[in-house]
């Protein structure tokens, strides 16, 4: 789970050229460092492992015995089952919700990034009245809790007819709006740290702002864009609240909504919850591991003092 | 299903391509305007849409909320300050605020401490081992809230009779303790801290990533120089590394604090605010959804906004300093 | 950058976006158009199917398509839809408090718009229409009944141990002592229900208010003429406190009650030997029984009236009920037709056959119920002197689904004394 309020530090970096990283010293961790990290990793993993183990156990076992008892006799095949995964996957509307989650998450990630990139460029490299005030306003809005927006936006969408015409549009815009301050903040910091000479020379060559933005700034900012994309994607994919309020159930419902319904009308279906939790994790994990290197590099180069 | 997928593709395509097209169209429009007005207008083509989004989705709702806070349960009649009086005189509110202060004090500091520890220590491992460690710590960030709450309900679960299925009770009874309903133990705010553990578990990965990146940018020369001067590793950490990543530490502290102010999910799922664990953000959700008391909910949001003003001021000041050095 | 291509592209794209909006439109869950009635309800899974089945005759007769959507998050969804100007034609709130909130937001039409209220009133179990009124005007159409005053016990084990099914409250107290003397735990009670934790406590309190003071005091209480911190209500809390806090009455005492999910609590009845022998819970609890028990209710479990006749208390037989109302939210003529259909005293036969359904009508044919347990529940409602709707559901949201739950939990857990608890609940009542 992530939040839109993550932010990068504003330090200026010598950029355009990749930040100089120091040589990695070959594993010189002492016993203290090793054991401390081992303990932390175990602590961090155990809760998740418990759920992973539970997700392969039969319903009545999950409800009556601790998951660790299964590990005492791991070869006893009778206690393992794929039934829970089957139940979740075959539940009515799951495939549909999977598509809906993608329909929500992809534009809701890309729209705010593009808008924020344009704005960040202007804040970093254009001169105009109100530049300072507007940027401060956006940064200040980082702290507004998004819950305040639900009622006024529902009314606004109702008046404009968005909730009837295309509810997905409403969700994209809402996520884009809520994620905008952080996106502008991260990207402006990054773009502001790009070398002035490169941009000046492009200008001398006769390029307009639009040209500089597309041909120079966007390619140079890939790491920061990717970094923000991960945060925003994780947030949107895992969001239940915004989807519940603006999309609700039925044909438009997303995965997190379906999962929350699986819990049953009034009872705690542990066996379904556990397998469902793992199924919804798959896409975010793929995104995380495939973009991981951009992610670290992006924040490193743009956000951290060199 | 195929129809649905095709439809989805079209919708996503339109959503994704529509935005750049909007900018090109606006830019093309501005290009037709002659002379100085064009130069004057162009920057607003770039910032305009973002500002409009922020205006509609954050500024307008915030103003709307302030107005709602002066109206009745359904926002129909003006009631002056009576919602404020109700919330302020609500006896349970003091406890809620106290809990929130605990959260603000402990969660960001512990999150940063753990994130920093992992970042510093993992830096000394071989590359593969470092990646594994960092992925493990980051993993919770990829888990949906429904998933995370399931995970922790399994840790704190309690059964009045029969076998325990909660991990904490299993460990506790192994060491001779008596099984406990952990999330109900309000003595010494123990249950508050148990809930904070969840939040720290979720956020430490974020702190670690940023801090690790900062630490990797600390120039080796400064470290070597300190070693030659005879500093031990502990002194190097406090006197060389920490001062150089101080700005990043501040940023992480700030953002986790903002997050703590906004989050309600942990409390909502684990205790529903019962057993003296309620915090402000959760109170807002229950007023809004369970009690359907829009006026009181609005007051709580206004209070949250007020609390965040210092954070906002900090942000703005940092931006000013940064502008000055640019 | 001066090329006109992008402009032309814009035209194409905006046409496409309109197109795609139109494609996805029907999924928007908007109020039904021609020949469609949208219903937003609380029933999911099997219950959702049973509801859809129950309106099939209407669909066949009129050619109108009933589109049902059921959600655990019914309350949030209906509030969101109303705020978004996108309400369903009919919703089915189970709480008169929510119903009244919707009416006050001008989101509902009076019952007289669609059905003959007087005829309906004559056919229904008394008291149901009244609970669905706002300012004297009837809005809610009772369409499914829940009987809360039921006492459940495991039949085979009861016979084996020689326990008698109690018919008066003193007999219940004696039975409770007898079970405890035999070294067993008498009560199964679970009050945990995620964010709604505490509602089962409020049911108990309501039962005791009715049994100690009778319906008139009850009515004054739920309309706030009688404050929460009056001696009458305090006595009801104390009576429930006695049940929970008497040592050995409930597994784990108050902590156990608050940690046990209400749906898991009846599991104890069916352990061998049982962990507990008695449960007071509404009829829908059978849906949480283990599957083998559900398959053969009659030989596993018995349901009887949660007895009245507390010494010095009210001497009649009051019953606590609840249930779902159908609420008309749009001016759709087809939806009005559906309301008429739902108001028939024969409505719900197919649902009743599958189990889990009780009709709110007095004249409903009880022979369609699948088992004796269900029939005995219907008898509990029919034989009562007086029926009253679940009080917490009828109170305004800030109390009924707010402080009444949370403050009761704080009291039971020992975090706060009873006087403070009652005072705090009373202060939260909106003017």
Report how far residue C360's alpha carbon sits from residue C122's, in angstroms, rounded to the nearest whole number.
11
Structure-model confidence comparison of residues A301 and C366, the more confident one: C366
Residue C333 belongs to some domain of the structure: yes
CB contact under 8 A, B273 and C406: yes
Q: Quote the mean pLDDT of chain B.
A: 85
Quick check: helix, strand or coil at residue A57?
Answer: strand
Q: What is the pTM of this model?
A: 0.85
The beta-strand segments (E) located in chain A are none
- Contact (Cβ atoms closer than 8 angstroms) between residue C113 and residue C326: no
Q: Are residues C193 and C330 in the same domain?
A: no
Residue A151 confidence (pLDDT): 78
Residue-wise pLDDT for C177-195, tens only, equals 999 999 999 999 999 987 7
CB contact under 8 A, B44 and A128: yes
Quick check: helix, strand or coil at residue C430?
Answer: coil
Which of these ranges, A48-62, A155-169, C278-292, has the smallest mean pLDDT?
Answer: A155-169
Percent of chain C clearing pLDDT 90 (strictly above): 69
CA-based nearest distance C255→chain B, Å: 7
Q: Are residues B250 and B129 in the same domain?
A: yes
Q: How many CB atoms lie within 10 A of CB A183?
A: 28
Identity of the residue in C28, C77, C84 whose CB atom sits nearest the CB atom of A249: C77
Nearest Cα residue in chain C from B283: C402
Q: Residue C273: is the preceding peptide bond cis (ω within 30°)? A: yes
CB contact under 8 A, A163 and C20: no
Residue B271 belongs to some domain of the structure: yes
Check which CATH number belongs to the domain holding B233 and give it.
1.10.3720.10
Q: Are residues C158 and C284 in the same domain?
A: yes
Check which CATH number belongs to the domain holding A224 and give it.
1.10.3720.10
Residue-wise pLDDT for C94-126, tens only, equals 989 889 989 988 899 999 999 999 999 999 988
Q: Is residue A101's pLDDT more than 80? A: yes
Q: What count of CB pairs under 8 Å joins A to C?
A: 96
Residue A241 burial (C-beta neighbours within 10 Å; 0-12, 13-18, 19+): middle
- Contact (Cβ atoms closer than 8 angstroms) between residue A57 and residue A80: yes
Q: Quote the mean pLDDT of chain C.
A: 88
Domains held by chain C: number: 2
Sheet holding C150-154, edge to edge: C279-280, C150-154, C301-305
Q: Please say which residue of B15, B50, B68 terminates a domain.
A: B68
CB contact under 8 A, B275 and C255: no
Extract the tokens encoding B125: 């491992």
ipTM of model: 0.83
Report how far residue A170's alpha carbon sits from residue A181's, in angstroms, rounded to the nearest whole number.
18
Nearest Cα residue in chain A from B210: A299
Chain B, window 273-312: residues with a beta carbon less than 8 angstroms from a chain C beta carbon: 273-276, 286-287, 289-293, 296
CB contact under 8 A, A141 and B59: yes
Check which CATH number belongs to the domain holding C163 and give it.
3.40.190.10
- Contact (Cβ atoms closer than 8 angstroms) between residue A250 and residue C69: yes
Nearest Cα residue in chain B from A112: B50
Chain B, window 182-241: residues with a beta carbon less than 8 angstroms from a chain A beta carbon: 201-202, 204, 206, 209-210, 212-214, 216-220
pLDDT, mean of residues B177-192:
90
Q: Are residues B45 and B116 in the same domain?
A: no
- Of C189, C157, C179, C146, give the one whose Cα is nearest residue C282: C146
Residue-wise pLDDT for B142-171, tens only, equals 887 777 877 898 899 898 877 888 899 999
A164 chain-C contacts, CB cut-off 8 A: 25, 28, 30, 86
Nearest Cα residue in chain B from C107: B74
Report how far residue C382's alpha carbon sits from residue A193's, in angstroms, rounded to the nearest whole number.
78
Q: Are residues B233 and B118 in the same domain?
A: yes
B129 chain-A contacts, CB cut-off 8 A: 27
Identity of the residue in C30, C72, C263 whose CB atom sits nearest the CB atom of A261: C72
Quick check: helix, strand or coil at residue A26?
Answer: coil
Residue A147 confidence (pLDDT): 75
Domains held by chain B: number: 2
C90-91 and C318-328 beta bridge pairing: antiparallel
Residue-wise pLDDT for C3-28, tens only, equals 333 333 333 333 333 333 333 333 33
Which residue of B3, B39, B58 is the best one to mutate when testing the A interface, meaning the one whose CB has the most A CBs within 10 A? B58
Residue C15 confidence (pLDDT): 38
Residue B252 belongs to some domain of the structure: yes
Q: Are residues C235 and C367 in the same domain?
A: no
Query: Is residue C389 within a helix (H) or strand (E), and if so which, with residue range?
Result: strand C386-389
Quick check: helix, strand or coil at residue C39?
Answer: strand
- Residue span of the structural domain in which B51 resides: 2-68
Domains held by chain A: number: 1
B251 touches chain A (CB under 8 A): yes
CB contact under 8 A, C6 and B24: yes
- Residue span of the structural domain in which C336 resides: 30-146+323-378
- Of C380, C396, C422, C385, give the one whose Cα is nearest residue C234: C422
Q: Are residues B179 and B269 in the same domain?
A: yes
Percent of chain A clearing pLDDT 70 (strictly above): 84
């Amino acid at each position: 789970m992530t939040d839109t309020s993550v932010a990068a530090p504003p330090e200026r970096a010598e950029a355009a050229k990749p930040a100089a990283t120091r040589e990695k010293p070959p594993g010189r961790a002492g016993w203290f460092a090793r054991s401390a990290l081992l303990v932390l990793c175990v602590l961090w993993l155990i809760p998740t492992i418990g759920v992973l183990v539970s997700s392969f156990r039969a319903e009545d076992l999950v409800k009556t015995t601790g998951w660790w008892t299964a590990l005492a006799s791991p070869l006893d095949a009778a206690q393992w089952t794929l039934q829970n995964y089957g139940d979740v996957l075959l539940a009515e509307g799951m495939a549909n919700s999977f598509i809906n989650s993608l329909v929500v998450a992809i534009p809701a990630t890309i729209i705010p990034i593009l808008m924020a990139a344009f704005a960040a460029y202007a804040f970093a490299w254009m001169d105009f009245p109100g530049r300072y005030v507007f940027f401060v306003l956006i940064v200040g809005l980082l702290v507004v809790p998004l819950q305040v927006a639900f009622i006024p936006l529902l009314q606004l969408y109702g008046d404009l007819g968005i909730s009837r015409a295309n509810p997905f549009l409403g969700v994209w815009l809402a996520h884009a709006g809520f994620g905008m301050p952080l996106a502008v903040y991260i990207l402006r910091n990054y773009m502001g740290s790009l070398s002035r000479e490169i941009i000046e020379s492009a200008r001398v060559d006769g390029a307009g702002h639009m040209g500089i933005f597309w041909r120079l700034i966007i390619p140079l900012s890939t790491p920061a864009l990717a970094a923000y994309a991960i945060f925003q994607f994780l947030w949107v994919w895992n969001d239940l609240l915004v989807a519940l309020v603006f999309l609700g159930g039925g044909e438009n419902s997303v995965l997190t909504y379906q999962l929350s319904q699986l819990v049953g009308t009034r009872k705690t279906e542990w066996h379904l919850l556990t397998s469902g939790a793992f199924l919804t994790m798959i896409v975010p994990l793929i995104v995380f591991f495939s973009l991981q290197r951009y992610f670290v590099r992006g924040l490193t180069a743009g956000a951290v003092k060199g | 299903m195929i129809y649905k997928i095709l439809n989805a593709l079209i919708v996503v395509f339109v959503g994704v391509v529509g935005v750049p097209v909007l900018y090109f169209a606006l830019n093309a429009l501005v290009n037709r305007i002659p002379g100085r007005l064009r130069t004057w207008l162009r920057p607003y083509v770039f910032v305009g849409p973002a500002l409009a989004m922020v205006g509609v989705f954050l500024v307008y709702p915030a103003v709307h909320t302030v107005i709602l806070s002066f109206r009745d349960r359904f926002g129909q009649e003006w009631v002056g300050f009576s919602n404020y009086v109700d919330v302020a005189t609500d006896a349970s509110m003091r406890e809620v605020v106290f809990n929130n202060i605990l959260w603000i004090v402990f969660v960001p500091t512990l999150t940063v401490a753990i994130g920093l520890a992992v970042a510093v220590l993992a830096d000394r491992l071989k590359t593969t081992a470092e990646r594994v460690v960092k992925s493990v710590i980051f993993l919770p960030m990829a888990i949906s809230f429904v998933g995370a709450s399931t995970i922790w309900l399994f840790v704190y679960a309690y059964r009045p009779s029969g076998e325990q299925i909660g991990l904490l009770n299993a460990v506790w009874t192994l060491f001779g303790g008596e099984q406990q309903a952990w999330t109900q133990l309000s003595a010494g705010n123990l249950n508050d801290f148990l809930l904070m553990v969840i939040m720290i578990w979720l956020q430490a990965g974020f702190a670690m990533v940023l801090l690790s990146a900062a630490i990797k940018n600390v120039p080796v020369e400064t470290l070597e120089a300190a070693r030659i001067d005879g500093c031990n590793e502990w002194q190097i950490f406090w006197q060389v590394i920490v001062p150089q990543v101080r700005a990043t530490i501040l940023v992480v502290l700030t953002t986790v604090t903002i997050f703590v102010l906004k989050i309600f999910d942990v409390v909502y799922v684990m205790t529903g605010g019962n057993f003296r664990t309620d915090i402000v953000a959760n109170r807002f959700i229950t007023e809004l959804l369970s009690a359907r008391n829009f006026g009181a909910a609005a007051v709580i949001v206004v209070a949250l906004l007020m609390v965040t003003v210092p954070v906002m001021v900090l942000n703005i000041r940092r931006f000013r300093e940064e502008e000055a050095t640019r | 950058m001066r090329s006109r291509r992008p402009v032309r592209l814009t035209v194409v794209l905006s046409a496409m976006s309109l197109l795609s909006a139109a494609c996805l439109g029907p999924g928007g869950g908007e109020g039904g158009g021609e020949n469609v009635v949208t219903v937003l309800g609380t029933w999911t899974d099997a219950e959702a199917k049973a509801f859809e089945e129950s309106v099939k005759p209407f669909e066949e007769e009129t050619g109108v398509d009933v589109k049902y959507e059921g959600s655990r998050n019914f309350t949030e969804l209906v509030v969101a839809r109303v705020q978004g100007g996108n309400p369903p034609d009919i919703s089915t709130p189970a709480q008169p408090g929510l119903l009244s909130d919707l009416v006050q937001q001008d989101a509902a039409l009076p019952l007289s718009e669609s059905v003959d209220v007087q005829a309906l009133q004559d056919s229904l179990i008394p008291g149901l229409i009244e609970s669905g009124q706002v300012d004297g005007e009837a809005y809610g159409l009772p369409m499914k009944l829940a009987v809360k005053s039921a006492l459940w016990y495991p039949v085979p084990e009861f016979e084996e141990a020689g326990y008698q099914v109690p018919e008066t409250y003193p007999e219940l107290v004696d039975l409770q002592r007898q079970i405890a003397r035999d070294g067993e735990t008498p009560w199964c009670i679970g009050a945990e229900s995620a964010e709604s934790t505490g509602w089962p406590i409020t049911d108990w309190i309501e039962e005791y208010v009715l049994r100690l003071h009778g319906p008139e005091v009850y009515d004054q209480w739920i309309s706030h003429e009688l404050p929460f911190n009056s001696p009458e209500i305090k006595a009801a809390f104390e009576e429930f406190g006695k049940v929970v806090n008497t040592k050995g009455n409930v597994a784990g005492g108050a902590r156990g009650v608050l940690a046990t999910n209400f749906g898991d609590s009846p599991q104890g009845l069916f352990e061998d030997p049982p962990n507990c022998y008695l449960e007071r819970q509404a009829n829908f609890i059978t849906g949480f029984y283990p599957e083998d028990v559900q398959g053969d209710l009659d030989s596993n479990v018995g349901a009887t009236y949660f007895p009245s006749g507390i010494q010095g208390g009210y001497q009649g037989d009051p019953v606590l009920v609840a249930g779902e109302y159908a609420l008309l939210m749009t001016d759709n003529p087809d939806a009005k037709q559906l309301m008429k259909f739902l108001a028939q005293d024969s409505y719900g036969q197919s649902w009743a056959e599958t189990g889990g359904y009780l009709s709110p009508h007095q004249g409903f044919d009880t022979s369609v119920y699948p088992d004796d347990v269900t029939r005995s529940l219907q008898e509990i409602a029919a034989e009562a002197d007086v029926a009253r709707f679940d009080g917490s559901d009828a109170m305004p949201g800030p109390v009924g689904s707010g402080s009444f739950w949370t403050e009761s939990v704080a009291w039971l857990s020992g975090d706060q004394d009873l006087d403070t608890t009652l005072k705090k609940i009373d202060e939260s009542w909106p003017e």
